[in-house]
Homo-oligomer: A and B are copies of this chain.
Amino acid sequence: MAGNTIGNVFRLTTFGESHGSAIGGVVDGCPAGLTLDVDFIQQELNRRRPGYSEGSSPRKEEDIFQIVSGVYLGKSIGTPIAFIISNKDQQPSDYAHLEKTFRPSHADYTYTQKYGIRDPRGGGRSSARETAARVAGGAIAKLLLNSLNVRVQAYVSAIGPIMLAADYRTLTLEKAERSPVRCPDEETALNMISYLETLRSQGDSTGGVITGIISGVPPGWGEPVFDKLQADLAKAMLSINAVKGFEYGSGFAGASMIGSEHNDLFEPRQGNDNSQFIKTRTNYSGGIQGGISNGEDIYFRVAFKPVSTIMKDQISVDEQGHQVLLEGKGRHDICIAPRAVPIVEAMAAITLVDHYLRATFSKI
């Protein structure tokens, strides 16, 4: 009810404030027998680290993934997998000047209104640091998806006004990970980096868009009414800090198309082994029809707003309602999108695994 858990069968609960002793999570509902590849999980966490990309904050967080329970001799045993990620870099002094001030477009004001009390150190629970626990939980989900040959990949398709408009099927997605801004097109990536450098010199920030692709999902995942697969994906994405929008398949652009163009015609196909199956000629549906996967790629786009913390002075209001001047200082990302790629993948993976498990009891 307080909303710190996501998923129905595969459930991730996260906990922890930015500058408390640790953050962490509990994965409940992971089937027994899964090999918990801790190196892979750690590697996923490393992908989220600041300092990794051009547009990131200099804070050196070492996010060490530490399993507390649920694993025996390297395998999941069906019990809750709890994990801890210690907060090494606790610098509460940095935030003393913010304790009584509501930063613009942060959660300071709304937390105070809701709870009457808040942890002002680095945004407390509202900090994007919470997403490290999502990445760890998502890595466990990915391990399960791997065993099903389902793959989740994301890349940066826009930073500010610099956009990569190409269809994902024309790109070499593996290149994204080698790019400091996680954009698989090298020329666009250079333009993005150049734009970020300009913003850095101005003390400003920007937003971005991440494109995600889920391939290998068989037909039949998703519940057809309120828990449509796309509905749960949308919720998962909009639950990420700074996300302002989600679209899948044809998305907003599809709204201006006509039906005879947008309809994905079914076609019979024959596999290498002579098996018969059905494909769609186009995939404006984005791999989901009636809330249920149809076997085609699921693809979607997620919009992130500009980072709220900027290196410019801004007016604001303190807890007494007095106007104050907020100095632009401290650590920050110029654009969150590059770091958010593993977060988007994690949330997609968690959503998919949950629906995979839910689909097991659709029929007798």
Query: When the two chains form the complex, which single residue of B8, B29, B220, B225 contacts A125, counting CB atoms closer than 8 Å?
Result: B225
Known: A235-B231, A314-B265, A364-B34. A14 touches B225 (CB 8 A): yes
Q: Pick from A1, A206, A237, A362 the residue with the most CB of B within 10 Å.
A: A1
A226:B5 contact, CB within 8 angstroms: yes
Smallest Cβ-Cβ distance to A245: which chain B residue: B247
The answer to the question of A15 belonging to the interface, with a C-beta cut-off of 8 Å to chain B, is yes
Chain-B contact segment, one of A42-50, A107-115, A170-178, A182-190 = A107-115
Asked if A116 and B285 make an inter-chain contact with CB atoms under 8 angstroms apart, the answer reads no
Residue A32 is within 8 A (CB to CB) of chain B in the complex? yes
Q: Is the CB of A363 within 8 A of B114?
A: yes
Within residues 200 to 234 of chain A, which ones have a CB less than 8 A from any CB in chain B? 204-209, 219-220, 222-228, 230-234
A89 to chain B, nearest CB (A): 16
Q: What residues on B are CB-neighbors of A358 within 8 Å?
A: 1
- Give a binary string over A139-154; 1 marks a CB under 8 Å from any B CB, 0 the rest: 0000010010000000
Interchain nearest-CB distance for A354 vs B (Å)? 10
In the complex, whether A26 has a CB less than 8 A from a CB of chain B is: yes
B244 and A303 form a contact (CB under 8 A): no
How many monomers of this protein are in the complex? 4
A165 contacts the other chain (CB 8 A): no
* A362 engages B32 (CB within 8 Å): yes
Give residues of chain A (86-104) contacting chain B, Cβ–Cβ below 8 Å: 102, 104
Does A138 count as interface, using CB distance less than 8 angstroms?
no
**A69-B22 CB under 8 A given contacts A29-B361, A235-B235, A361-B357:** yes
Please tell me if the beta carbons of B32 and A305 are within 8 angstroms of each other in the complex: no
User: Number of residues in A with C-beta < 8 Å to the partner?
Assistant: 155
Interface pair A361/B360, CB less than 8 Å apart: yes
Beta-carbon nearest neighbor of A241 in chain B = B290
Q: Does A119 contact B (CB under 8 A)?
A: yes
Interface residues of A in 1-39 (CB under 8 A from B): 1-6, 8-9, 11, 13-17, 20-24, 26, 28-29, 31-34
Question: Is A166 at the interface (CB under 8 A from chain B)?
Answer: no
Besides A3-B225, A107-B289, A231-B238, 15 new A-B residue pairs in contact (Cβ under 8 A), listed by A number = A3-B223, A4-B225, A17-B77, A20-B69, A32-B364, A77-B119, A106-B290, A204-B260, A206-B256, A206-B258, A234-B234, A239-B291, A245-B247, A260-B312, A360-B360
